């Protein structure tokens, strides 16, 4: 069972649409959220609160996050875990959508639900405690029988968790049409899957996210292709199409700091960089 997350500062905000017309509680305002001014521009980021994220993402990345509005559909254990992480990260607002009631099964993974919450809506049960995590993030709930195209326009990102396949296809088409980023996440026991659609212009240039491998080389053949031999036949783990650069080469010093060169693998310890 997941343990409750740490809290930052208490605050609640609610957006309810029971009659297909969204409205805010009269006691809540949207202009006191995550570093946002009343005109929608980003004020100074709280460097004390987000210092670690600024170090990783940079100020520009943190400002982009601070202007993001996220819709999360599905507040099972997975959904509430995602909501918790996003709220602590410091987006502008998070809207929760899930009219399913809390069940006994939810208690095994939903760290904000207890036995007294069984039968109550997942989104409503989750909202108050999620809102307490970060006072800079507005947390709303959306109550509608079915979401339509207009309901998605104001969001930067839509996340679907444990949703029916038909709903994923329908929402996926809407988000793709409107240029809204979409993440679909599901878990089944110890297994899970994630699908991301960040638009046609989104290009992945680092498929693994891992640090680039490095290898010591023994020699570079003085030929047109320049066969490279790794030291003591060390396995280089490159594949055709990888790019390499060189450093600390003696003799052929012109290779040091060169532009990345496309690799053709010639064996486990050999490759052509030309």
Q: Are strands 157-161 and 138-141 parallel, antiparallel or unpaired?
A: unpaired
**What residue segments make up the domains of the chain, in order of their start?**
15-197, 217-272
Q: Which residues contact 110 (CB under 8 A, 6 or more apart)?
A: 75, 76, 77, 80, 102, 122, 126
Q: Which of 84, 64, 75 is CA-nearest to residue 5?
A: 84
CATH 3.40.50.720 given to domain 15-197: yes
**R_g (Cα) of the chain, nearest Å:** 25
Kindly list the strands in the beta sheet with 264-267, ordered across the sheet, starting from the edge strand earlier in the chain.
217-220, 228-230, 270-272, 264-267
Fold classification of 217-272 (topology level): Elongation Factor Tu (Ef-tu); domain 3 (2.40.30)
Residues 67 and 53: their CA atoms lie apart, in Å, by 15
pTM above 0.75, yes or no: no
Q: How does pLDDT run along the chain (274 residues), one tens digit per residue?
A: 445 555 554 333 444 443 333 333 333 333 334 554 434 455 567 777 888 888 888 888 888 899 999 999 999 999 999 999 999 999 999 999 998 988 888 888 888 888 888 999 899 999 989 999 998 899 999 998 888 899 999 999 999 999 999 999 999 999 999 999 999 999 988 999 999 999 888 887 777 777 777 889 888 888 878 889 998 888 888 888 888 888 888 888 888 888 888 889 999 899 988 7
């Amino acid at each position: 069972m997941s343990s409750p997350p740490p809290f930052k500062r208490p605050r609640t905000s609610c957006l309810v649409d029971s009659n297909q017309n969204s409205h805010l509680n009269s006691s809540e305002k949207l202009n006191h959220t995550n570093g946002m001014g009343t005109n929608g521009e980003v004020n100074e980021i709280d460097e004390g609160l987000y210092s670690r994220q600024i170090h990783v993402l940079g100020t520009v990345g943190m400002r982009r996050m601070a202007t993001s509005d996220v819709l999360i559909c599905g507040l099972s254990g997975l959904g509430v875990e995602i909501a918790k992480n996003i709220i602590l990260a410091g987006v502008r607002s998070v809207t929760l959508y899930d009219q399913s009631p809390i069940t006994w099964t939810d208690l095994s993974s939903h760290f904000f639900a207890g036995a007294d919450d069984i039968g109550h809506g997942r989104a409503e049960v989750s909202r108050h405690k999620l809102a307490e995590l970060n006072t800079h993030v507005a947390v709303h709930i959306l109550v509608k029988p079915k979401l339509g195209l207009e309901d998605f326009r104001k969001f930067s990102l839509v996340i679907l968790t444990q949703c029916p396949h038909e709903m994923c296809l329908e929402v996926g088409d809407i988000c793709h049409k409107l240029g809204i980023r979409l993440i679909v996440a599901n878990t089944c026991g110890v297994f899970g899957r994630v699908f991301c659609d960040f638009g046609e212009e989104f290009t992945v240039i680092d498929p693994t996210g891992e640090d680039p491998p490095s290898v010591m080389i023994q020699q570079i053949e003085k030929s047109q292709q320049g066969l490279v031999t790794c030291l003591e036949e060390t396995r280089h783990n490159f594949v055709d199409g990888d790019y390499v650069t060189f450093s600390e080469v003696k003799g052929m010093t012109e290779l040091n700091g060169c532009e990345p060169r496309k690799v053709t693998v010639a064996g486990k310890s050999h490759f052509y960089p030309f």
